[in-house]
Structure 1
Amino acid sequence: MAYARLADGRPVERVRLRRGGIEADILTFGAVIQDLRVGGRSVVLGFDTFEPYIDQSPYFGAIAGRCANRIANGRFTLEGREYHLPLNEAGRHHLHGGTAGFSERLWTLEEADAHSVLLSLESADGDQGYPGTVQATCRYTLLDDTSLRIELEGRTDAPTLFNPAAHSYFNLDGTGDVLAHRLRIDAHEFLPVDGDLIPTGEIRPVSGTSFDFREPRVIGEQSGHEPLDHNFCLSREAVVQPRKVAWLEAGDGSLALDLATTAPGLQVYDGAKVNVPLAGHDGRGYGPNAGLCLEPQFWPDAINHEGFAGCVLRPGETSRQVTDYIFTSRT
């Protein structure tokens, strides 16, 4: 029986994964992580029912794509041809794949068992203005009783951009905001942005800036400088095996999260603009800074900046991103 249905009658499925002390609910709509619980505690923002994901969710738990993050003015040139994408952010820029990106699509449930689920999606040539037909897959796997792995893959029949990203908002202690959480990011450089959050083109060292998280810092300290919605530069290209790049600890120290990924960038968003009028998991309200996004991906607007870690995908290639969320309880 379907978990829910879209307005056109198509069924939305929900798959529950369990392994020891970790449990994940996955929706076929948007490949959403609806809930993720560690030791019974919900650690991501989301809704207990499906309907709010249609018009109230700021990408809670979704896979953003075909190209996550921002593309300036919705324009890019690939192999001599200029492409124009929907301007779905303030009418000026392209965000997270457009008005009907991967996060708004119904994925196909390919296989599932107690510990893993595989979803697939076909994005046709011209979808949201992108060239080439892309075959995408997303696999969620509980590796053990503390870890969730996300594997994102894509293939194309023509040169295109492919940069999907997992967009969960984490809150490890269930309080109203994450400002007391501590964060470490193993990055020596970040990308400054303009007033529209578009990278300026500079690759700046974090040293001497408010974006230096190489040693653990309380997130609320950052809010005294400038909002946190920036790409941290992990490498100039994707790597083969996941390596630990970030660490997040609950304000009360009861739970910690290590993030390991193959991606060359990590977009970190402090949730300052979150303002959801509906109650979420466990009846919690979601206001500003209710959760922290840690989004492994290629660098934003890379196609328009020389020297950025880019996401061009060509026929015969397979794009693969692997990310592990590893939890450690101290209670």
Structure 2
Amino acid sequence: MSAPSRTLVLRSDRLVLEVVTTGAAVRRLVLDDDGPVDLVLGHRDPATYDDDGGYLGATVGRFTNRLGGGRLVVDGTEHRVPPNDGANALHGGPVGWDRLAWEVLEEAPDRVVLGLTSPDGDQGLPGEVTARVTYEVAGDEVRLHHHATTSATTYLGMTNHAYFSLDGGPDVLEHRLEVGASAFTPVGADLLPTGEVLPVDGTPFDLRRARLLRDVLALDDEQLVRGGGLDHNLVLDGSGMRRAARLVGASGRWVEVHTDRPAVQVYTGAHFDGALTGLDGRPLLRHAGVALETQGYPDAPNHPGFPDALVRPGEALEARTTWRVGRD
């Protein structure tokens, strides 16, 4: 088990960001909106992160999202990540980076850098990996930078798994979501991508114009049944740093997610069953928050048509995401 977490607090003139060192996780994002308002889900007891934080706000890796059978091949050699999602591996398997103690490398009032060394063979994957995550707050923005290098060719992916909930209510059904994605990757019954990349036209995944989550989740669609709602990879339009998503609560509070990553996983929290306690002391129930995980494609090592997620010695995984928040 990881060492007990240390809590780090970053501030701008409008925001407070609280990070715990276990999982390099975001526990709180507080907006000054005529008083402090929490915008992400967090555990009431910070010690929960030392046990099993359930990915709330965590930095996940070595490979994000699902990996079919936990299997991948690097330079002709098969490697296996231990399963933790049926027969598949999710977010690095049972002991992913969300479960580990990260080291504080730099600390300032508005910025912190956390680091982790993942030894060769960790999660069954080759290469010693040096990972870094930087959090910075400035005005109405939280800036995230994920960086990783490796001593041997390996597959890498990093993201933050924050769940946004902008109204302080029990669910996000009255939130409106817009995602700049013209395509998505459909999933099978095991939530693994089928390998197809399909247009969103005429599907629940056409979020190019803002839609009420309650209405989207009420649609009769086999993909929504499989995911218990939205639990899908949307392929973002464009390249470079651009707006990926905008989520607006009934309160008028909003968050925009900007990223240079190719895709975003939209997940409406079907698994919340009351076992976890939120910041306000209430149990977290179904659809308590929505995750907007900027990422590469799920199960990419097993689909040659998906963007390559290999990182080689001398290269680096670089990923930037910005959360911009406010109120209409």
Between the aligned partners of 2:52 and 2:117, the Cα distance in structure 1 is: 25
Structure 1 residue corresponding to 2:192, chosen from 193, 198, 217: 198
1:250 aligns with 2:249: yes
* Per-residue deviation, 1:53: 2.1
Matches within 5 A, 1:63-102: 63-90=59-86, 92-102=87-97
d(CA) in 1 for partners of 2:23 and 2:52? Answer: 14
Matches within 5 A, 1:1-331: 10-39=3-32, 40-55=36-51, 57-90=53-86, 92-142=87-137, 144-225=138-219, 226=224, 227-234=229-236, 239=239, 241-253=240-252, 255-330=253-328
Letter in 2 for 1:134: V
Deviations 1:159-215 (A, max 9, x none): 001101100000011111001100000000000001111000110000011110000
Secondary structure at the aligned position of 1:183 is classed as: strand
TM-score normalised according to structure 1 size: 0.93
Tell me, in whole angstroms, the C-alpha distance in 2 between the residues paired with 1:43 and 1:55.
23
- 1-structure distance, mates of 2:76, 2:98: 29
Question: Contact (CA 8 Å) 1:20, 1:145: kept in 2 or not?
Answer: yes
CA contact (8 A) 1:242 1:324 kept: no
Asked if the contact 1:57/1:276 (under 8 Å) is kept, the reply is: no
Letter in 2 for 1:212: D
Deviation at 1:310, TM superposition (A): 2.7
Distance 2:72 2:4 in 1: 35
Native 8 Å contact 1:147 1:324 kept in 2: yes
Contact kept? 1:125, 1:132, Cα under 8 Å: yes
Report how far residue 235 of structure 1 moved. 5.4
**Deviations 1:103-157 (Å, cap 9, x if unpaired)?**
0010010011110000000011100101111000000000x22110110000001
Summarize the Cα distance change of 1:199–1:278 in structure 2 as closer, same or farther, 3 Å threshold: closer
- Residue 244 of structure 1 aligns to a residue whose secondary structure is strand
2:5, 2:50 within 8 Å by CA — same for their partners in 1? no
Q: Secondary structure at the match of 1:282?
A: coil
Q: Is the 8 A contact 1:56 1:276 kept in 2?
A: no
Residues paired across the two proteins, number: 317
Residue deviations 1:52-92 (CA, integer Å, cap 9, x gap)? 224453200001100010000111112111111101112x0
Q: 1:261 to 1:89 in 2, by over 3 A?
A: same
- CA distance in 2 between partners of 1:145 and 1:230 (Å): 31
Aligned-pair identity in percent equals: 37
Q: Secondary structure at the match of 1:271?
A: coil
State the superposition RMSD in angstroms: 1.4
Q: 1:207 to 1:198 in 2, by over 3 A?
A: same
What SS does the aligned partner of 1:232 have?
strand
| Residue ranges of structure 2 left out of the alignment (5+ in a row) | none
Between the aligned partners of 2:263 and 2:322, the Cα distance in structure 1 is 15
SS of residue matched to 2:280? helix
In the superposition, relative to structure 1, how do residues 53 and 261 fare at CA in structure 2: closer, same or farther (>3 Å)?
same
Moved more, 176-185 or 301-310: 301-310
